[in-house]
């Protein structure tokens, strides 16, 4: 694996995001909704740096099998009531944009006062939708990445850095 973003760089990116969110909401209560499972590490690191009353919930999505995008499934049964609240949707990566777009549409139907989105990573040149999240920590090249919550077949999420997964790494992963 080739390290793309070190643990230090990721921490600095989370600090930058936290500063932007603190400036945007200026102490107003905020409901955070993380997209499972990739956003868990980002969400945990980020919420400890926020300076406003928080409610935290999750929505589960799945769209990848190995390195290939498949059909999107959304399970919102664990999501908080967001009606009449300022909401920040957190995801790990903005690739084609379809997942975040569909989850955003679902959440808009639930009546939040405001809805913004945040991603750790925006994969350059892959977007197939006409909008971007309001908060983005890093633009990255079009490579398959793992670590800091991102996985390949449910492995590598625990890496404290972000790495480019190379073909030899894919072959070595247990089934």
Q: Give dist(CA 25, CA 83) in Å, integer.
A: 17
Residue 59, pLDDT score:
86
- How high is the mean pLDDT in each 10-residue block of the chain (175 residues)? 97 98 98 92 98 92 56 65 96 91 89 97 92 96 95 93 87 55
State how far Cα 76 lies from the chain centre.
Answer: 16
Predicted TM-score (pTM) of this structure: 0.87
pLDDT, position 6: 98
- Count Cα neighbours of 91 within 13 Å in the Cβ-side half-sphere: 25
Question: At which residue do the structure tokens 């996985």 appear?
Answer: 151
CA distance 48 to 76: 24
Both tokens of 110, joined, read 């639930």
Which regions of the chain does DSSP assign to beta strands (E)?
2-5, 30-36, 54-65, 68-75, 86-94, 114-123, 135-140, 145-146, 162-164
How far is residue 170 from each of residues 18, 58, 62, 167, 174, measured CA to CA in Å? Answer: 33, 29, 20, 5, 9
Catalytic residue numbers read 95
Structural domains present in the chain: 7-143 (3.40.50.2020)
pLDDT in the model for residue 175: 45
């Amino acid at each position: 694996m080739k390290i793309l973003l070190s643990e230090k760089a990721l921490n600095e990116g989370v600090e930058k995001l936290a500063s932007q969110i603190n400036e945007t909401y200026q102490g107003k209560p905020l409901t955070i909704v993380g997209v499972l499972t990739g956003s868990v590490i980002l969400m945990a690191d980020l919420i400890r740096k926020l300076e406003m009353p928080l409610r935290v919930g999750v929505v589960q999505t799945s769209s990848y099998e190995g390195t290939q995008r498949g059909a999107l499934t959304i399970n919102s049964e664990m999501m908080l009531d967001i009606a009449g609240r300022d909401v920040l949707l957190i995801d790990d990566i903005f690739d084609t944009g379809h997942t975040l777009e569909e989850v955003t549409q679902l959440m808009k139907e639930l009546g939040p006062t405001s809805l913004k989105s945040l991603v750790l990573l925006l994969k350059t040149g892959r977007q197939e939708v006409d909008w971007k999240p309001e908060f983005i920590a890093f633009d990255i090249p079009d490579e398959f990445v793992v670590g800091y919550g991102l996985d390949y077949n449910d492995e590598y999420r625990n890496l404290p850095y972000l790495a480019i997964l190379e073909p030899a790494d894919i072959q070595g992963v247990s089934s």
